[in-house]
Amino acid sequence: MENNTQLNNFFQGLLNRYGSPLYVYNEKILRERCQTILNFKNSLEGYLNNTKVNMHYSTKANNNPAILKIVKEYGLNVDCMSLLELDLNKKCEFEDKRILYVCNNIDKDEMDVVFNSNILICLDSISQIETWGSIHPGSDIMIRLNPGVEGVGHSQEVITAGKKTKFGITEENYKEMFEAIDKYNLNVIGLHQHLGSLFLNDKIDKYVKGVESFFELINRYTEFDNVKIIDLGGGFGVPYNGEEKLDFNLLINKLGNVLKKFEQEHKSIEEFKFEPGRYIPCESGMILGRVNAIKHENNTYWIGTDIGMNQLVRPSMYDAYHRVKILGASNSPEITANICGNVCESGDVLAKDRKIKLPIPGDIIMVYNAGAYGYSMASNYTGRLRPAEVMYNDNQDRLIRYRETIDYLEKSIVW
Ligand SMILES: Cc1ncc(COP(=O)(O)O)c(C=O)c1O
pLDDT digits 0-9 by tens, 292-344: 999 999 999 999 999 999 999 999 999 999 999 998 767 889 999 999 999 99
Q: Which residues have a Cβ under 8 Å from the Cβ of 110 and sit 6 or more positions away?
A: 83, 103
What average pLDDT score do residues 126-134 get?
Answer: 98
Minimum mean pLDDT among 27-36, 122-131, 148-157, 336-345: which range?
A: 148-157
Q: Is the peptide bond before 21 cis (omega within 30 degrees of 0)?
A: yes
Residue owning the nearest CA to atom 4 of ligand 1: 234
Beta pairing partners, 272: 53, 230
The yes-or-no verdict on residue 356 having pLDDT over 70 is yes
What average pLDDT score do residues 380-394 get?
Answer: 96
Residues in the chain: 415
Cβ count within 10 A of residue 295: 10
Residue owning the nearest CA to atom 12 of ligand 1: 234
The yes-or-no verdict on residue 2 having pLDDT over 70 is no
In the three-class reduction of DSSP (H, G, I as helix; E, B as strand; rest coil), residue 95 is classed as coil
- What residues line ligand 1, using a CB cutoff of 6 Å? 58, 61, 102, 160, 194, 197-198, 233-236, 275-279
What b/e sequence results for 329-368 when a residue is b if at least 16 CB atoms lie within 10 Å of its CB, and e otherwise?
A: beeeeeeebebbbbbeeeebbbbeebebbbbeeebbbbbb
The yes-or-no verdict on residue 181 having pLDDT over 80 is yes
Give all domains of the chain, ordered by start, each with its CATH number. 4-25+283-410 (2.40.37.10), 46-274 (3.20.20.10)
The yes-or-no verdict on residue 410 having pLDDT over 90 is yes
Calculate how far, in angstroms, residue 278's C-alpha sits from the geometric centre of ligand 1: 8
Whole-angstrom distance, CA of residue 90 vs CA of residue 78? 10
User: Long-range contacts: 390-394, Cβ < 8 Å, 24+?
Assistant: 390/14, 390/18, 390/22, 390/23, 390/24, 390/25, 391/24, 391/25, 391/27, 391/30, 391/66, 392/10, 392/14, 392/24, 392/25, 392/26, 392/27, 393/26, 393/27, 393/28, 394/1, 394/28
Q: Which residues have a Cβ under 8 Å from the Cβ of 265 and sit 6 or more positions away?
A: 219
pLDDT range class, residue 4, cuts 50, 70, 90: confident
Whole-angstrom distance, CA of residue 214 vs CA of residue 151? 12
The yes-or-no verdict on residue 363 having pLDDT over 80 is yes
The yes-or-no verdict on residue 163 having pLDDT over 90 is no
344 classed as catalytic:
yes
The yes-or-no verdict on residue 153 having pLDDT over 80 is no
Calculate how far, in angstroms, residue 194's C-alpha sits from the geometric centre of ligand 1: 7
Please tell me the predicted confidence (pLDDT) of residue 156.
66
The yes-or-no verdict on residue 77 having pLDDT over 90 is yes
| Orientation of helix 204-219 relative to helix 248-265, angle to 10° | 10
Candidate of 33, 34, 60 to mutate for ligand 1, largest count of ligand atoms within 8 Å of Cβ: 60
